Structure 1
Amino acid sequence: MKTDYKHVLAPIQIGPMKLKNRVSFTPVWPSFATADGQVNQALIEWVREIVSGGCACINIGCGTVNRDLPAFITHLLRMGEESVVNELSMLCDMTHMYNCKIGMELFAINLEAGGFENRDKNAAKPVVEIDPTYLTKQQIKDYIEDFANAAERAMRCGFDSLVIHGAHGQLPGCFLSKLINERTDEYGTQSMENRARFTNELLEAIRAKIGNKMAIEYRINANDMIEGSPTLEEVIEFAQSISDKIDLLHVSRGMHSIQKLAPYINQPIYFDHGINLEDAAKIKAAVNIPVTVVGSVTLEQADEAIKAGKIDMVSMARGLMADPYMVKNAKYGEPEKTRPCIRCNNCIHKTHYQLAPVRCTVNAEMGMETLYQPIKEPKKQKRVAIIGGGAAGLEAARVAASRGHQVVIYEKSDCLGGVLNMAGAAEFKKDIKSYCEWSIRAVQSMDGIEIKLGVEAAPEMIKAEGYDTVLVSIGAAPIIPAFVHEDERSFWVGDVENGIAQTGHEVLIIGAGLTGCEAALAQSRQGKSVTLVDMISTDRFGSGGATFNQIAIINMLKDAGVKMLGGLKMLKTDENGAVFENEAGEKVNIACDSMVVSFGVRANDELVGAYQDAAVDVAAIGDCNTRQGTLYNAVHTGHEAGYMI
């Protein structure tokens, strides 16, 4: 049944704040503040693009409340300093121009340089941002004062709401955990009154500063996912104890500092959508304030959950970064226009692991707004040929046509999508399939694009057509060793993923990059016994994408019983399977019914070069211009090439 979205699009009152719909942009760290923690133009334009798409509220992530932050802490908004007020006021004013509310997330940061591992004083418990066990009474008082002063500062800037971060191992939530909090005083865990004391005092101090002029949202973990952590019943009791001091409860799960749990905060493509909905429903049933939830919740899921009374609204970030116009598309009855998020977590990887500005794989302009704005409109319409209808070619065609050019796509096969069709074949990669379908729909529905399927566009043919610009997007050829063609038990991973080749019960997958790992997971879910091998060490298995996703798929492979062997160099096949050599020079025999090779791809430089004289302007995009094919590279090179014509 088609969703009409009337429940998620309905207005809602959150304390003193009236929201035009029930979709909020949840706090993320885009890494756009200046090095000394001030607002920059990149942050303003990033926010502008998101709020113009129709969400009801945007929450700005990672506002540090600490006073006197050291210089090594960079690119975080310094809510503990008066200097942020001027530019943040401009950000609030701009947001309100779009009839959108704006919130600020407040959290306290550890002032010790280095990673979480340097903070571990008790190896028997998880390491967190700030461990309450070791805080003095004066430090507790100082943190409460810091939060309250930051809240008052946000109010003067014009913010409509605050998000107090008590999830994922952040300070307020740590007082609740008997596993983390080892105090024996009134801030200890002897009673719920003591466990909630810090948070209640914190919220009281904030309310004393802001009165009823702003809404307060508290971000909570329904499940830390660590043995000995608060149960859901304890979380509910805690929520009830603070509910008279907040206006909205924001339900999440997981811990940042524990690698295997980090993916549960930003769920990868392998996880189900809406993983926190049921916990949120149980919490909502027990409190008398509105509840919102994160966790890869789709707009359809949100509408149904609101209708069923499980939640009051939904909070999301990655979906709105992939397409800020999700809400407007739903409002105007055109949800099929929304570009799907593929949950590759490249956005999080950029900010959290590379300490770089946020970027999106499928939305090439997201985070690059200030880089694209100075580019002028084309001076004249051009005729553009795009050779190949894969991810890069489709994106280039869509963008070039949107800027007024006449585009012809030549695709030698009988369908568009290229390797996206293989990449989205597994049941647990439906998000890729959805993106492929969206990309094809986009070019098929646009004026100015002609699609020629089943046509192999030779360079001389393209040159004879007299195009102004030719974009070569022919992809890359898979690396398939000779034995695959000579041994009937051996298959290329793409044929296995697409269902063209059928494997036996004992499957050996050779090549443990991301594609090989995903193939191993797909095979194991079919009931196969799977062994995954590579020359690289096992701690590098699954690399090539975001770290969160690598962590997730390796954990899933372990849970599925996939045998993973690193440091093995393949020598040959034999009648039982394959023979490898380990790092000690010893022979290792692995028996199997089927061998699946996943050795990556190689661009055909000679073929790409053959198009160089096909027009005055020729460029190679996508997999044919790189040594490591990724969807990020395909979309971004295609987008940039189409935009610059």
Structure 2
Amino acid sequence: MEQLKYKHLFEPIVLAGTLFNNRIFASPTGYQDMNRFCDLPPEAIAYYERKAKGGVASVALGELVVDSKTGRSGTHHVPMDDPNSFYMLCRITNAVRMHGANCSAELCHAGMFASRLSGITGEASRGLAYGPVDCEKNGRIILGMTEEKIWEVVGQFAAAAQYAKRAGFTMVTIHGGHGWLLSQFMSPILNTRTDKWGGPDIENRSRLAIEICKAIRKTCGPRFPIEFRFSGSEAYEGGFGIEEGIAFAKQLDGYCDLLHVSAGNHEVEEVFTITHPSMFLPDGVNVKYAAEIKKHVKTPVATVGALDDPALMEEIIASGQADVVEMARGLICDPDMPLKARMGREDEIRKCMRCLACFSSLMSQGQFYCAINPQAGRELEARNDTPPMHKRKVLVAGGGIAGMEAALICAQRGHDVILCEKGPRLGGTLLCEEQVPFKEKLAEYISGQERAIRKAPIDLRLNTEVTPEYAARIGTDVIIAALGARPVRPNIPGIHLPHVKSAEQAYVTPEQVGQEVVILGAGLVGVELGIYLASLGKHVTIVEMDTKINDGGNDRHVRGVKVQLKKYGIQLHFETKAEQITEEGVLCSTTDGEAVFTADTVVYAVGQQPLQKEGAALAGMAKEFYQIGDCVSPKNIMNATTQAYYVARNVGRI
């Protein structure tokens, strides 16, 4: 028998007498799409089940609150003190466990950040909130917990754990990090109590967490694993560092069965993309915290953050940096990652681009939609999918993001597929970014799609432009036009000067870009290009007519972008209109009058013009016709892959 390539990663581990089949855990993720009674829909069951089906050892449900009155940070959390949640949770745990995975309940209490939001509108609330001490936070009065209240909270965690166990959960994860209640008690900055529950003594500041673990152990028994999630470092100036993380772990050692070491504090915007590493940070960026803590404790340690490469995860386990690796976005992007790695098919793994589209869509639409996995957030639909009634001959015109996805889905569904790309390579306009370090995952995705296309029964024709005459000559039942878009060249005097480039040209030949750069447009294309050029040592100024960065619906990604803009000292000028480009730079009008920004190179990144007419010219060349992606309306990768997926699924339906 062939030996496993990642033998340490797929070695079972036993926690409190419970067997976990491997070292890959799905870390806690909450689910926003629920009714006013906080019931999760069947789509949520399918979402969590899909992770178990993909081969992880454990699946955690996030944000289950132990106190629905004063422990919630918002309205979209399952209350563990409501008996009406029980049967719903049973359905989820059954769905997860039938695939051989354990199911964990993440138990939370928001503490001083409770009752801040009301409904999906996000309106401010003045609800009651408790913390370690009396204080004022953003105009709200926070009540310090009395000893009686502290013991009440201990009892609430224990009751919630018992409730979870009865509902079929085989583990609980206590959320003690990221700024929530237990980390507030742990914090030497926030917890200035003078009794046994706080102050300068780490033993006192750890007492609440330890008492909760002891109460759960007493209530649920010794063979019910307790995972404790906490920040090894808050990772910002003014927060606690790894030394406090180590001290806290040493106090907790032996009271729980798995120390889940995360990082950050949700109250600090720039730290959001450390807790949820952005594309600008390296793989496994937070492993260092778990590795350091593991040197000081006997309890097994888990690490989390920017993990989706099985080779890296194997090395983490094999080298003793951690005992368990936990994934969130990586499993949204490819829930089959564990099975693919185990089967030696790692070249098929879709690696998370860390674009944070999933997090942004969760907050805005209640679903984890993924830029490159169109089944994410639609697991129930995908599970109930039916094969096409009729086999078709399909011509896909355009080998960009949308065209590649459409061709693959059509081929998977048994259609005869011809994929034509007018250029020499697949990938479309995004190929211009393949040398950008923080777009490495995008380049890997494009390469992976290309490999899949070459393996699939697809007739690939490069250097082939699809004209109406060509389409008529080959004769197909279906045409899917995915022709893309071209950069909009703004109508500004001087736009044709030789030192003016499109964003695509600047990406492809950065060596031809001068040291002083002015970028027109602060959409994601413009600001990401600015970051790339600044990383090459160029001085970048961005001018934008609007009042803010256009995030394209991905506001979480912009948090990471802002960190990089600050890091490189990139100047942004809003409410600024370019009036004329000269040899020396750009003349602009602003709210304060005229301004001149000097530049060796001027780059325009003001949008894309869809090739709608070129696509529409193919409409009469087949009985069935679709236009998808940027040639309909230039948006983003998520829009392209989702449209392609649904259109391809529709082919042959009637």
Counterpart residue number, 1:450: 459
The structural deviation recorded for 1:371 is: 3.0
Counterpart residue number, 1:165: 175
Counterpart residue number, 1:591: 598
CA distance in 2, matches of 1:250, 1:613: 58
Mark the runs of 5 or more structure 2 residues left unpaired by the alignment.
none
Q: Name the SS of the counterpart of 1:260 in structure 2.
A: helix
Contact 2:136/2:142 (<8 A) preserved: no
Which is further off, 186-195 or 438-447?
186-195
Alignment partner of 1:575 is 2:583: yes
The structural deviation recorded for 1:134 is: 2.1
Alignment partner of 1:629 is 2:639: no
Instruction: Specify which of 624, 639, 645 is matched with residue 617 of structure 1.
Output: 624
The structural deviation recorded for 1:163 is: 0.5
Contact 2:233/2:241 (<8 A) preserved: yes
CA distance in 1, matches of 2:391, 2:219: 58
- AA aligned to 1:43 is A
The structural deviation recorded for 1:39 is: 3.6
Contact 1:23/1:55 (<8 A) preserved: yes
Counterpart residue number, 1:204: 214
Counterpart residue number, 2:67: 66
Contact 1:36/1:75 (<8 A) preserved: no
The structural deviation recorded for 1:136 is: 2.9
Change (3 A) 1:383 1:127: farther
CA distance in 2, matches of 1:213, 1:43: 28
- AA aligned to 2:509 is G
Render the CA deviation track for 1:525-569: whole Å, top value 9, x for unaligned.
1111111111122xx225225222201112211111212211111
Counterpart residue number, 1:337: 348
Counterpart residue number, 2:447: 437
The structural deviation recorded for 1:312 is: 0.7
The structural deviation recorded for 1:186 is: 2.2
CA distance in 2, matches of 1:121, 1:165: 17
The structural deviation recorded for 1:500 is: 6.9
Residues 534-549 of structure 1 mapped to structure 2, 5 A cutoff: 534-537=544-547, 540-541=548-549, 543-549=551-557
Which is further off, 220-229 or 317-326?
220-229
Residues 49-60 of structure 1 mapped to structure 2, 5 A cutoff: 49-60=50-61
The structural deviation recorded for 1:70 is: 11
Counterpart residue number, 1:461: 470
Residues 344-359 of structure 1 mapped to structure 2, 5 A cutoff: 344-352=355-363, 354-359=364-369
Q: Name the SS of the counterpart of 2:160 in structure 1.
A: helix
CA distance in 2, matches of 1:133, 1:301: 45
Change (3 A) 1:3 1:342: farther
Counterpart residue number, 2:39: 38
Q: Name the SS of the counterpart of 2:254 in structure 1.
A: helix
Which is further off, 241-250 or 459-468?
459-468
Counterpart residue number, 1:320: 331
CA distance in 2, matches of 1:374, 1:281: 42
Which is further off, 183-192 or 592-601?
183-192
TM-score of the superposed pair, with normalisation by structure 2: 0.92
Instruction: Specify which of 508, 521, 525 is matched with residue 515 of structure 1.
Output: 525
Change (3 A) 1:220 1:641: same
CA distance in 2, matches of 1:11, 1:465: 54
Render the CA deviation track for 1:62-111: whole Å, top value 9, x for unaligned.
11111458999544222121222223222222222111111110102413
TM-score of the superposed pair, with normalisation by structure 1: 0.94
Change (3 A) 1:412 1:321: same
Change (3 A) 1:287 1:542: farther
- AA aligned to 2:632 is N
Identity of aligned residues (%): 28
Contact 1:42/1:370 (<8 A) preserved: yes
CA distance in 2, matches of 1:567, 1:38: 45
- AA aligned to 2:558 is Q
- AA aligned to 1:80 is D
- AA aligned to 1:330 is A
- AA aligned to 2:78 is L
Alignment partner of 1:278 is 2:285: no
Change (3 A) 1:321 1:229: same
CA distance in 2, matches of 1:173, 1:127: 16
Counterpart residue number, 1:148: 158
Q: Name the SS of the counterpart of 1:520 in structure 2.
A: helix
Q: Name the SS of the counterpart of 2:542 in structure 1.
A: strand
Alignment partner of 1:108 is 2:112: no
The structural deviation recorded for 1:347 is: 1.0
Contact 2:73/2:116 (<8 A) preserved: no
Taking only aligned residues, the RMSD between alpha carbons, in angstroms, comes to: 2.5
Contact 1:514/1:545 (<8 A) preserved: no
- AA aligned to 2:315 is E
CA distance in 2, matches of 1:143, 1:359: 35
CA distance in 1, matches of 2:25, 2:204: 32
Alignment partner of 1:220 is 2:227: no
Change (3 A) 1:133 1:193: farther
Alignment partner of 1:376 is 2:386: yes
CA distance in 1, matches of 2:248, 2:550: 39
- AA aligned to 1:402 is Q
Q: Name the SS of the counterpart of 1:241 in structure 2.
A: helix
CA distance in 1, matches of 2:136, 2:540: 33
The structural deviation recorded for 1:270 is: 1.4
The structural deviation recorded for 1:369 is: 2.0
Change (3 A) 1:174 1:312: same
The structural deviation recorded for 1:121 is: 11
CA distance in 2, matches of 1:174, 1:72: 14
Q: Name the SS of the counterpart of 2:305 in structure 1.
A: coil
Which is further off, 368-377 or 549-558?
368-377
Counterpart residue number, 2:488: 479
- AA aligned to 2:543 is V
Counterpart residue number, 1:257: 267
CA distance in 2, matches of 1:324, 1:338: 9
Change (3 A) 1:96 1:303: same
The structural deviation recorded for 1:9 is: 1.2
Change (3 A) 1:118 1:36: closer
Which is further off, 298-307 or 157-166?
298-307
Contact 2:260/2:301 (<8 A) preserved: yes
Counterpart residue number, 2:89: 88
Contact 2:74/2:116 (<8 A) preserved: no
Contact 1:177/1:189 (<8 A) preserved: no
Counterpart residue number, 1:134: 144
Q: Name the SS of the counterpart of 1:319 in structure 2.
A: helix
CA distance in 2, matches of 1:131, 1:247: 36
The structural deviation recorded for 1:487 is: 0.6
Mark the runs of 5 or more structure 1 residues left unpaired by the alignment.
none
CA distance in 2, matches of 1:367, 1:126: 39
The structural deviation recorded for 1:146 is: 1.3
Change (3 A) 1:222 1:87: same
Counterpart residue number, 1:606: 613
Instruction: Specify which of 224, 232, 239 is matched with residue 242 of structure 2.
Output: 232
Render the CA deviation track for 1:162-195: whole Å, top value 9, x for unaligned.
1100111011111011212232222222311210
Change (3 A) 1:634 1:481: same
Contact 1:116/1:257 (<8 A) preserved: no
Q: Name the SS of the counterpart of 1:245 in structure 2.
A: coil
CA distance in 2, matches of 1:548, 1:324: 22
- AA aligned to 1:83 is N
Alignment partner of 1:364 is 2:374: yes
Residues 279-318 of structure 1 mapped to structure 2, 5 A cutoff: 279-297=289-307, 298-318=309-329
CA distance in 2, matches of 1:72, 1:555: 25
- AA aligned to 2:154 is I
CA distance in 2, matches of 1:629, 1:456: 23
